[in-house]
Structure formats: structure tokens, C-alpha cells
A and B are shown apart, each in its own frame.
Chain A
Amino acid sequence: MCRVLAYLGLPTPLETLLYATDLSLARQAYNPRMMASFVNLAGFGFAAWDDATAHPDEPFVYRVTTVPTHDENLRALAHKLVPACVLAHVRGVVDGQPAVVSQQNTHPFRFARARVALAHNGHLREFARMRRDVQAHVRPELASLVEGNTDSEWLYALLLSQLREPLGRPDVEELAAATIRTLEIVRDLRARHRIATASPANLFVTTGTSLVVTRFSFDHGWYPPDDPLLELDLAYVTLWYTLGGEYAEHGGAWEMRGADVTSSVLVASEPITADASTWLEVPEYSLLAASRDGDTVETELHDLEV
């Protein structure tokens, strides 16, 4: 399991989002508050879009197996970047379970020339049983781009395959529809293979101007016997958001001070501050969609009936 953060809004120092706060994403790598006995030391990555750079449609992408608290290159980079959209992820894998810790398996995933990036907080139990059928739903030109061996990268390829132009830049409605269709395909394949164990699929999908995040689990509450992830998954995988103006420190508290018009939204597996009073919980079985137009961000919450 992992921790993920997505930001869309006014240009904000990457350092603020990754390091500055008392429960920053970097700290969540080794000390998450809302996960039982689990750490996220199997890789870090981010994609960040900055309007002020060349090719603003393309993100900076950084994926390493280094722990972010001890990555001086990342600290230096985070000090310089002031993006308007960020998708960042710290990866966790289960001690004693087979897992490949490699750059190819770190999130977020973004194929070369693709406009969409994806990070996943969750895991599809028994994925190996349905992998071939998932591949059958992925466009061949995308399947050949899969480098790693995670369920998450295949979800990414499957989601891109649902877009009219897989390497194009969908608007938020198309991105949300593709995300829902991806979950529906996985649901149907699970049914065909009689897979009925809990499989959280909190997906974070963004183009740099549109953001879609799900809080969803297939078959929540059903586990194989002696499951090592039981304690982790007994509670629904968490997802929180806050929104408003610029994300900044006000009198010692990091928050988005009220703006009449929402100009920024921050979504994360768990609040990045110990004081969670300015954060709202995304309901289970729902999808949060956000799109940015200039200094304005529009957000909508939808039920997910998958």
C-alpha cells in the first residue's frame, strides 16, 4: 500500500507539498498516521506541471527507489519547482511478499508522449489470475509500453485505452468517464475469474489541468484466510481533500485560507498536517473531479456505482 498526494491550483512550491508540513508526504513514507503497521519505503515519484517552463503540457517526471527524506537531489529540485499541478507517490510493499522494488514499478506512471499520469493507492488481490484478460483490453501500442510488473501500471494502460486519443489530453469529463470505465472492466473481469477479495483502487489521474481521484474498493471487507494485509484493509483506504486559496503557512498552520472562488485543491491519502481540521474526507465509493482554468479550480464529487 502507498501514500499519494495530488495538487491542482495556484503555483505552489513543491517543497511545501513534499517536505514543509509536519505530516508531509516525505514523512508519510516512514510514519503514516492512517495506515496500520505499514511503511512506504519502496520508491518515490512525482509528475509536476509548471506553466512557466518550456512545453508546459509536459510534466517533470522523477521516479526513484530512494527514500524521499534522504534524497538530496529531490530536495534540491523541490526547492526550485513551483508547479500548478503535482502528482506524487510513496510506494509501500509487503514485507516477505514477492515484489520488485525498481524504478519501473514506482508511480506515477506516464508513458512517453502521454498527457495523462496515474498513481494508485491500493492493490488488486489475485491480479495475476486476470492479468492476461486485462492485457486483452489494452491497446497493443500501449501494452508494449508497460515496463514494470505492477497491477497499477496495467490499470494505467487500461485507462489510457479508454480515451478517444490515448496519448491526447482529455478534458475532465472524458478523464472521469475513462476512469469509471476502467473500474467497470476490472469489475467484470474479476467476476469472470471469480475473484471476490477486497481490492482497493484509489486512483489519482491527471493531465496537469484536470484531476480525477477515486476512493473505491472492490469487495470491501472480504479477505483470503491469513491475509497479511488484513489489518491494513479492514478499514476502507483513506482519502482526504482541502480546497480554497493558496496553500501556505498562516500563523504556524498550513492551510488554504478562504477564497470566494476556489483556486486550489489538494487531495491526499491522508492530511499532510497533524491538524486535520481544515481537511474533508472524500466519501467511500466516490469520485472527485477537478479542473483548472486560470486561477479558478472547479471541483465536483460523484457517487461511484461500479
Chain B
Amino acid sequence: MISRSEPAAALAAAPLFADLSPDVVSSLALELRRIELAPGDLLWRQGEASGGLHLVETGRLTVTAGGPGGREVELAQMGPGDVVGELPLLAGGEHAASVRAVELASVLQLDRGRFRALLSSFDPSAEALRRRLLNVVCERLRRQHARLCAMLGDGPALGAGADFVSEPAPIPPHAYLARLALFRDLGEQELDELLAVSVVVDVARGTELCAEGATPAFCAVTLCGALEELVRRGDRGVRVRLAGPGLATCYAGLLDGLPSSVSVNARERARLALVPRPAFDDLVAARTRIGRAFLEALQRDLVGALRVAQRPLARLSFG
């Protein structure tokens, strides 16, 4: 149990901050603001601007999404050591869900600007923090997918897991690629470097790239067309996300080492840049500008995927 009297201890005990040096932790602890919540108190409402990163010190919080008629669906519960409110800090935008205390709770708030400064530092511990944050988002995404699967009921998951057929394809012009979300922050040379380690292919509509439960061998970036992430149980299924041009998929398992929680199919015929696992691992581990820009782009993509995954959950609950 984390002590309420030691913000530094609370930080150090939180898995997210485990790689920070004691000096950084002590310095951050001085800037934490404690917020006490009574049962039912709102920490923030869905749609509000972010005030910073919040670390649960004591008590339990519920994370909910609204629906028609003022109803709510619970997305998750958070307890001591969990962080909340990281998504707008990683990818911009507003809070996608409301957070409220279930019981007496204490939360430590790290100011938005301070957290952003920490994340953008070149300090090795900041690199580790960025990777841990990615894993936090991966874990949340997997939980959302598991919730969706539970709502679909019993039945086998989708996907045969066989190799898929693809055709080598030309690389679209740089002027086009530079307008896509995943490449927007890459210079021309860095884009060339990324494409040099990728394989550009065309796949037909309906092609299954990765089955649920399989371990992906690549990260797939859609250049043209669209992929879809699906969960299915028996004859019930739901599209979790449509990944059109500039969005990536199949990479969560490359980041956290776990099997895919969705199956990935081509919803339209698609032109893809496939980044094979070894090249992907090298890229995200490298402390180069391209590695960092690629990781930040994946971070935004992952947060987008998590936000979108909330929508079918709300629809199944209220629709």
C-alpha cells in the first residue's frame, strides 16, 4: 500500500515511473499536487481539457464513457499506483472519458507542462518512461478488446492465421506520403530510411493479415486503402477500428510481446508498408531522430486506436 504522506514514495512505487532516477523522482515529487476526492466526486468530465497526469495514491476511481440519455458505461477501475489522464498528454485532444471517485481517494497531479517536458527530454530514463507509457496504453487497449469480446459472448475467435497473399507494389510519391499521419513528422531522408527497411505490398480486399491470438511478424502501415481490426465470438463480431491511410496496425504485440488481441483484415484492397519485426525492434530501440519520431507517431496512433475502441463499447452498451 502506498503511503499518502510520501509523494516521492508513491511515484517511485508506481510501475510507470520505475525507471526514473531517484533525483528525477525527488524533483518531480516536489511539483505534485494532491487532490482529495469524496465518493462520487468527479476528477474530470469527458470532453474537458487535460490538466496533467494523475497518479492514484489511495482509493478507487471509475472511468466511464457517456451515452445517450445521460447513461454511462464503465470502461475501467483504477487503484493505487495506476495513472489516469495520460492520453491527452500523449496525443492531444480532450479527455475521452470521465473519472470519478468510487470511494474516498487521493490523487497526485503532475502538471501537464512538467510532464510534457519530462517526456521530451533526451534523458535515458525519459526514454524508458516513454516505452512504459506505450505499454500502459497497449494494456488498456487489450483490456478494451477483452471487454468487447466478453460483450459478444461465447464462441470461437475469428481468424485462420494462415500466410497471406500479397504482391510487390510501387512506393507512392513522397508528396503523398508526407501528408499521412504516421510520416508527417519525418523528413525526406528519414522517410527514405523507413521505407528502405519496409516491404511495400498490395493485398486484396478480405485478406487476413493477422489472426486474433497470433503473434504478428510485422507492423503494417496503410499507405492506400484500409485495414480493419475485428473481434469476433461465434457469429457476433464488431469492427474495433478502421485503419486507413497513415494509420498503423499489428504492432501492439511487437511492443509488449503479447499475441494480437484482434484480427486484422483488408477491408479495402490496400497498399501497405510492412516493417518486419527485426527492423521494427531496431527502429524503436534506436536513439536516433527517426527512431524517436517513429515511436512518437506510433504513440499517437495507439492512443487513437484506444479512443476509437471505446466507441463500439459504448454502442454495444447503449445502441
Instruction: In the complex, identify which listed stretch (A4-12, A102-110, A178-186, A241-249) lies at the interface while the others stay far away.
Output: A241-249
Q: Does A275 contact B (CB under 8 A)?
A: yes
- In A263-306, the 8 Å CB interface with B consists of 274-281, 283-285, 301
A235 at the B interface (CB under 8 A): yes
A258 touches which of B70, B269, B319 (Cβ 8 Å) = B70
Q: Which residues of B come within 8 Å of A, CB atoms? A: 45-47, 65-71, 98, 173, 175-176, 179-181, 222, 224-226, 239, 242, 244-246, 267-270, 311-312, 314-315, 318-319
A228-266: CB near B (< 8 Å → 1, else 0) gives 001100111000001111000010000111110000000
Q: Which residues of B sit under 8 angstroms from A231, Cβ to Cβ? A: 179
CB distance from B307 to the nearest CB of A (A): 11
Is the beta-carbon distance between B70 and A278 smaller than 8 angstroms? yes
- Main secondary structure, interface of A, reads loop
* Contact A280 B242, beta carbon cutoff 8 Å: no
9 CB-based A-B contacts, threshold 8 Å: A225-B176, A230-B179, A245-B69, A250-B70, A257-B70, A275-B46, A277-B47, A279-B68, A280-B319
Shortest Cβ distance from B71 into A: residue = A258
* A-B pairs, 10 with minimum CB distance: A258-B69, A277-B66, A244-B69, A221-B225, A277-B46, A221-B226, A281-B311, A221-B244, A242-B68, A244-B68
Q: Which residue of A lies closest to B223 (CB)?
A: A221
Question: How far is A259 from B68 in the complex, measured between Cα atoms in Å?
Answer: 10
A220 touching B225 in the complex, CB below 8 Å, given contacts A244-B69, A277-B65: yes
Q: Is the CB of B47 within 8 A of A234?
A: no
User: A230 vs B246: C-alpha distance in the bound complex, in angstroms?
Assistant: 12
- Contact, CB under 8 Å: B225 / A256: no
User: Are A222 and B47 in contact, with the CB atoms below 8 A?
Assistant: no
Contact status of A255 and B69, CB under 8 A, knowing A274-B47, A277-B47, A283-B315: yes
Chain A positions within 8 Å of B, measured between CB atoms, are 219-223, 225-226, 230-231, 234-236, 242-245, 250, 255-259, 274-281, 283-285, 301
For the complex formed, measure the closest distance between the CB of A243 and the CB atoms of chain B, giving whole angstroms: 5
State whether B65 touches A219 (Cβ < 8 A).
no
A221-B176 Cα distance, complex, nearest whole Å = 12
- Structural contact, A255 and B311, CB atoms closer than 8 A: no
Q: Compute how far the CA of A178 lies from the CA of B311 in the bound complex, rounded to whole angstroms.
A: 29
How far, in angstroms, from A228 to B311 measured CA to CA in the complex?
A: 30
- Contact partner of B70 (CB less than 8 A), chosen from A219, A255, A284, is A255
Q: Is the CB of B268 within 8 A of A219?
A: yes
In the complex, what distance in Å separates the CA atom of A257 from the CA atom of B311?
20
A284 touches B180 (CB 8 A): no
Q: Do B226 and A220 touch (CB < 8 A)? A: yes
* Residue ID in chain A nearest B239 by CB atoms: A283
Nearest CB in chain A to that of B175: its residue? A226
CB distance from A198 to the nearest CB of B (A): 9
Contact: B319 with A301, CB < 8 Å? yes
Q: How far is the CA of A98 from the CA of B154 in the complex (A)?
A: 54
CA distance A240 to B195 in the complex (A): 36
A243 to B68 CA separation, bound complex (whole angstroms) = 6
Are A236 and B242 neighbours in the complex by a CB distance under 8 Å?
yes
Tell me which of B173, B268, B311, B312 contacts A225 (CB under 8 A).
Answer: B173
- Please state if A278 and B66 are interface contacts (CB–CB under 8 Å): yes
Asked if A278 and B179 sit within 8 Å, CB to CB, the answer is no
Which of A226, A244, A257 has the most CB atoms of chain B within a 10 A radius of its CB? A244
A266–B286 Cα gap in the complex (Å)?
49
Once the chains bind, are A220 and B244 in contact (CB under 8 Å)?
yes
Q: How far in angstroms is the closest Cβ of chain A from B97?
A: 9
Tell which of B176, B180, B315 touches A281, judged by Cβ atoms closer than 8 Å.
B315
Q: Which of B68, B175, B179, B244 has the most CB of A within 10 A?
A: B68
Chain A residues within an 8 Å CB radius of B45: 277
Is the pair B314, A235 in contact by a Cβ cutoff of 8 Å?
A: no
Nearest A residue (CB) for B46? A277
Q: Are B222 and A221 in contact (CB under 8 A)?
A: yes
Q: Enumerate chain A residues within 8 angstroms of B267, measured Cβ to Cβ.
A: 220, 285
Contacts of B269 in A (CB 8 A): 219, 222
Complexed CA–CA distance, A277 and B71 (Å): 9
B239 adjacent to A284 (CB under 8 Å):
yes
Which B residues lie within 8 Å of A274 (CB)? 47
B319 and A236 form a contact (CB under 8 A): no
- Say whether A256 contacts B68, CB under 8 Å: yes
Q: How far is the CB of B279 from chain A (nearest CB, A)?
A: 24
A258, B181: Cα distance in complex, Å? 38
Given A257-B69, A277-B45, 14 more contacts at CB 8 Å?
A221-B245, A222-B269, A223-B224, A231-B179, A234-B245, A250-B70, A258-B68, A258-B70, A275-B46, A278-B66, A278-B69, A280-B314, A283-B312, A285-B267
B224 touches A222 (CB 8 A): yes
A259 proximity list for chain B (CB < 8 A): 69
